[in-house]
Amino acid sequence: MALPDLDTSVGHSFGLEFDGVVIKQITEVTGLKMEQDVIELKQNTSDGKYVIKKLPGRPKAGEVTLTRGLTADQSFEKWIKDSRFGKMGDSRKGGAIIVFDYEGNAIKRYTLVNAWPKSLEIGSLKAGDTSVLTEKVVLTYESMDVA
């Protein structure tokens, strides 16, 4: 059941799926955007006036950062190792970030094409700290589709 026309979704109900595998315990997704080049067409009209028209250009590749609490799950590390050692056939994956409504129904799907991990960052290790240790993975992707 979709949201009524005037309702909006909240940012805390989302999931992640890559090649059919649901990746759990993601706490934050940042940097998700779709962008393209702009082409400026400069020309003169028939009456001699100078006009600039802006046209859509090529789509740009993007990057998204996924954050989760550090666990024993090795899926990110294996994915990163595959890309570091040139196994790009195994590394490039299709996936989606899915936004859910209050009832758990998918209302928006951001599909990433040929995504692969660019970097892994572990949160700060500090003596006496009681905060959750996190890992951040930056994925680069060739294109994004919204459905």
Residue 17: pLDDT band (50, 70, 90) is confident
Q: Are 52 and 113 in contact (CB under 8 A)?
A: no
pLDDT, position 29: 92
pLDDT value at residue 143: 92
Tell me the average pLDDT of the chain: 85
Q: In this structure, how many other beta carbons lie within 10 angstroms of the beta carbon of residue 111?
A: 17
Residue 3, pLDDT > 60, answer: no
Mean pLDDT of 99-105: 82
What would the mean pLDDT of 137-146 be, rounded to a whole number? 92
C-alpha 27/C-alpha 61 separation (Å) is: 24
pTM for the predicted model, two decimal places? 0.77
